[in-house]
């Protein structure tokens, strides 16, 4: 039975359902009404209540995940802001960069060898601990204003391989 937007169609459908229910025995009528209620309640549960409860149950873990993402974004913003603030100062001279790079590389406790050629610095690593490498990269990036251009690293007991660095101050004459 197709219902149109005509109010008379709704009246006809309603009348048809009423007549059909009236023909049934009271026990059958009750069974049909109970089945309709069960279907209606199931539909309400499926479309409205269950999704809301699911959202409520997952809210804690989603909140924690979003807090972690927010914290990471705030740390990245603070790093960007500190780097932006450093860019307003004059870049260090080539001698200052080389001195900073040498001091940072000496801090790797003999697991790294530095060589500078023109506007590039190459550091060869041998079993450098991950934490020391991360700290070294941070020092080189922030204090010497050098960035890694190329790296070929493998990890065994520590990091081994080469890292090529460059920056505007390395290209200047001494």
pLDDT in tens, 75-115: 999 988 887 776 666 778 888 999 999 999 998 888 999 99
Closest-CA residue to 129 (of 156, 102, 162): 156
Residue 1 binned pLDDT confidence (cut-offs 50, 70, 90): very low
59 and 108 within one domain: no
Question: What is the number of domains present in the chain?
Answer: 2
Going from the C-alpha of 89 to that of each of 52, 141, 163, 173, 174, the distances in angstroms are 54, 15, 26, 19, 20
Q: Which domain holds residue 64?
A: 7-85
| Final residue before a domain boundary, out of 19, 53, 85 | 85
Tell me the pTM. 0.51
The rounded distance, in Å, linking the Cα atoms of 159 and 129 is 6
């Amino acid at each position: 039975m197709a219902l149109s937007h005509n109010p008379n169609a709704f009246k006809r459908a309603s009348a048809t359902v009423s007549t059909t229910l009236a023909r049934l025995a009271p026990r059958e009528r009750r069974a049909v009404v109970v089945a309709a209620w069960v279907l209606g309640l199931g539909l309400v549960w499926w479309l409205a209540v269950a999704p809301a409860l699911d959202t409520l149950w997952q809210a804690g873990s989603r909140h924690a995940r979003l807090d972690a993402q927010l914290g990471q974004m705030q740390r990245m913003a603070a790093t960007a802001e500190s780097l932006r603030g450093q860019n307003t100062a004059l870049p260090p001279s080539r001698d200052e960069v080389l001195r900073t790079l040498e001091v940072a590389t000496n801090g790797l406790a003999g697991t790294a060898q530095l060589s500078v050629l023109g506007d590039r610095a190459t550091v060869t690593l041998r079993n450098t601990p991950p934490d020391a490498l991360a700290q070294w990269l941070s020092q080189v990036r922030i204090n010497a204003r050098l960035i890694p251009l190329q790296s070929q690293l493998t990890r065994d007991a520590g990091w081994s391989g080469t890292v090529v660095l460059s920056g505007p101050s390395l290209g200047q004459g001494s």
